[in-house]
Amino acid sequence: QMGEYTGGSSARFASIDGPGDLTRLGSPYGYGWYRAVIKSGAAKRVRAMFPESADRLHLWGDGHALGAVGYAAAEDVSLALKRTTTLVVLAENLGRLAGGSGMGEAKGLYGPVWGTTPIKLPKPKIVAGEPIDLLAFKSPLWEVREGDTSEPDRLTWVVAHRRKTGLIVRIDPLPARAVLIVNEKPVRFIGRSGTTRLVLDQDQLSRGNNTIQLSFLSEGLDIDIDALAKAASGALHLHEASADIGAKAEWAFAKWEAPAPSAFAAATKAAMSSTTGPTWWRASFRTKDRETPLLLELPGMAKGQIYINGRHLGRYWLTGPAGWQPAQDRWYVPAPWLREDGDNELVLFDEEGGNPSKCRLVLDDRPSPIRA
C-alpha cells in the first residue's frame, strides 16, 4: 500500500511552482502524484472541480479517499477545507490521440483547483449568425479545407452572469463537430475526441447576459439543425469558478514508479482481501513450457497495470460504473519475455487495491484456429 503517498508524507515529493502537465514534469506515461498543502482562512466545504486535467484523477484529503474525477468518474468532489488541508492527486494518462484536431493534448493536473457553484441553464434556441471561416479561426484542422465554414444556424444559450468570476464549461460529446462561440467570439473548435472542458475567464465574459453558442459543421452534407439541436441541447454544463482553491498552496510532485524488490513483503490472504487504495503486488512463477501460449487472468482485481519481468504487458480495467463491461479479461504473456531457467516476476499496480489471491496463469492448449 502507498499510504505515504496518499497521505502526502513521502520524501519523494519535490516542490513545484504549481499544477503542470505530466510530460513537463518528467512523467509522459502512466501516472503522476501531485500534492497541494492548502491554507484556508476558515473551515468550509466546497465542490471542487478540475477542468484543466486529464484523464482521471484519484483524490485524497488529509489521507482520506475523496473519490475520482474525469473519464468514467465524477465531475467534482466534496472537499472539506480546514485551516491547513493536504490534497493529494494521483493523475492517470489513458493515452494520447493519434489523429484529429486534439492531438498534443496535455495530461495530468495542469490548471487550478476550483471551488464551484452550478449554474442552471435556460432551454437553448436556434439563432442565425455569420458562418465561421474555420481555418481562419484555427489551423490546421483535420478534414477541413480552405473556404470551409460552419453553419449559420447556432444553438444558443443566454446566461446571466454578474459576478467577477470565470465560468467552467463542460460540453458532452456532440453529434457533429462544432465551434464554441462566446459573446460572438469563437473560442474553441470541438472535434470528435469526447468531452470538452474549458474555463472562460472574466475577459471573455460580460457583466450581465452572456451568449454561448454552438455552430455546427455540415461536413459537406445536408444537416437537420433541429435534429442536431435536440440531440445537443443537454450537452452544455456551466459552473461558476468561485475560488481558485490552490492559488496560494504549496505544490509538490512525485513520479509514479514501482518500489524496489526489497520494499515488498509477504501478503496473507486476509491482507489481500482487505487492501484498499493504490497498491503494488509482486509474485514470482516458473514455466518450462514455451510452446503453449501462456495467459494471465486477474479475477478480483479492479483497475491498473501489468508488468512481466520489468516489461509493461498492458493495463486492465475490470470494475467500473454500473453496466461496465471489461474490454478483456485475459492477457497473453509473450514467450520471449519469459526466463527458461529461474523465476519470472509478475508485478501488478492496482489503483483500488484489488485482491490478487485468485489471479492465475493458465496454458491455452486450445487448437489453433489457423492452419498452414
Position 371 pLDDT exceeds 70:
no
* Placement of cell 505544490 in the chain: 251
Q: What is the 3-state secondary structure (H, E, C) of 219-268?
A: CCCCCCHHHHHHHHCCCEEEEEEEEECCCCCEEEEEECCCCCHHHCCCCC
Report yes or no: 336 and 294 within 8 Å, Cβ to Cβ. no
Q: What is the average per-residue pLDDT within 345-360?
A: 96
Q: What is the average per-residue pLDDT within 281-287?
A: 95
What is the C-alpha separation between 306 and 206, in angstroms, rounded?
A: 50
Phi, psi of 105 (to 5 degrees): -70, 150
What is the C-alpha separation between 114 and 68, in angstroms, rounded?
A: 15
CB atoms under 10 Å from CB of 279, counted, come to 20
Q: What is the average per-residue pLDDT within 78-84?
A: 96
Report yes or no: 279 and 350 within 8 Å, Cβ to Cβ. yes
Q: In a 10 Å sphere around its CB, with 0-12 CB exposed, 13-18 middle and 19+ buried, how is residue 269 labelled?
A: exposed
pLDDT the model gives residue 369: 65
Residues 6+ apart with CB under 8 A from 150: 131, 132, 134, 178, 179, 215, 216, 217
What is the C-alpha separation between 277 and 58, in angstroms, rounded?
A: 10
Peptide bond into 140 cis (omega under 30): yes
What is the C-alpha separation between 155 and 180, in angstroms, rounded?
A: 10
Query: Going along 266-309, which residue ranges are E strands?
Result: 279-285, 294-297, 303-308
**Going by DSSP bridges, is the β-strand pair 250-255/14-16 parallel, antiparallel, or unpaired?**
antiparallel
275 or 367, greater pLDDT: 275
Position 372 pLDDT exceeds 60:
no
Least confident of 23-32, 177-186, 217-226, 258-267: 217-226
Q: What is the average per-residue pLDDT within 107-121?
A: 97
Element (H, E) at 121: none
pLDDT the model gives residue 256: 97
Cell of 353: 487495491
132-182, pLDDT tens digit by residue? Answer: 999 999 999 988 999 999 999 999 999 999 999 999 999 999 999 999 999
pLDDT the model gives residue 223: 80
Compute CA distances 277 → 3, 33, 54, 271, 352, whole Å: 8, 14, 20, 13, 4
pLDDT the model gives residue 82: 95
Q: In terms of pTM, does the model score above 0.85?
A: yes
Percent above pLDDT 90 for the chain:
79
Position 192 pLDDT exceeds 80:
yes
* Placement of cell 471551488 in the chain: 115
pLDDT level of residue 339 (50, 70, 90 thresholds): very high
pLDDT level of residue 14 (50, 70, 90 thresholds): very high
Report yes or no: 316 and 303 within 8 Å, Cβ to Cβ. yes
pLDDT the model gives residue 364: 86
Residues 6+ apart with CB under 8 A from 124: 155, 156, 157, 229, 233, 236
205-260, pLDDT tens digit by residue? Answer: 999 999 999 999 987 677 888 888 899 999 999 999 999 999 999 999 999 999 99
Q: Which amino acid is at 256?
A: W
Mean pLDDT of the chain: 93
Domains of the chain: 3-118+245-255 (2.60.120.260), 124-232 (2.60.120), 261-363 (2.60.120.260)
Q: What is the average per-residue pLDDT within 37-57?
A: 95
Q: What is the average per-residue pLDDT within 263-279?
A: 92
